[in-house]
Amino acid sequence: ILTIQRKPKISASRKLMLKSLMVAKAKEELEQEILDKEGEKQKYLAERAPPLNMSGLSLGQLQDLCRELHAKIDVVDEERYDIENVEAMSGMEGRKKMFDAAKGSAQ
């Protein structure tokens, strides 16, 4: 029986070169995506959170401003915590807890 060795359509060195070019291109695109996201973040923050003008404020006014900002941070932290809990409950853990609760009430 005759066996014919087929030559690969693309040489190993060419294949390696193409892979390295693809990796380099992917790296460039990833770096550009990171820069774009950072730019979008800065733009969003500039729109939503204008810079604070603290010049000319007395010590008491600065302390009041700090208290106000800390209160806002606390509210945001609570909302973030609530969202994380909702996400956790919507996953497998949440379904298991609901199943266990339904099983326990049926007995």
pLDDT in tens, 19-40: 999 999 999 999 999 999 999 9
Question: 56 in the Ramachandran plot: left (φ > 0), alpha (ψ -120 to 50) or beta?
Answer: left
* Cα distance between residue 61 and residue 54, in whole Å: 9
Q: Residue 104: what pLDDT? A: 64
Q: Is pLDDT of 52 > 60?
A: yes
Instruction: Please report which confidence band the pLDDT of residue 5 belongs to, taking 50, 70 and 90 as the band edges.
Output: confident
Residue 46 counted as domain residue: yes
Q: Is pLDDT of 102 > 80?
A: no
Q: What's the pTM value of the predicted model, to 2 decimals?
A: 0.45
Count of domains observed in the chain: 2
Residue 17 counted as domain residue: yes
Residue 1 counted as domain residue: no
* Cα distance between residue 62 and residue 52, in whole Å: 11
Instruction: Please report which confidence band the pLDDT of residue 90 belongs to, taking 50, 70 and 90 as the band edges.
Output: confident
Residue 40 counted as domain residue: yes
Co-location of 58 and 100 in the same domain: yes
Instruction: Check: CB of residue 54 under 8 Å from CB of residue 65.
Output: yes
Task: State the amino acid at position 80 in one-letter form.
Answer: R
Co-location of 41 and 61 in the same domain: no
* Cα distance between residue 69 and residue 76, in whole Å: 11
By residue range, what is the domain housing residue 19?
Answer: 10-51
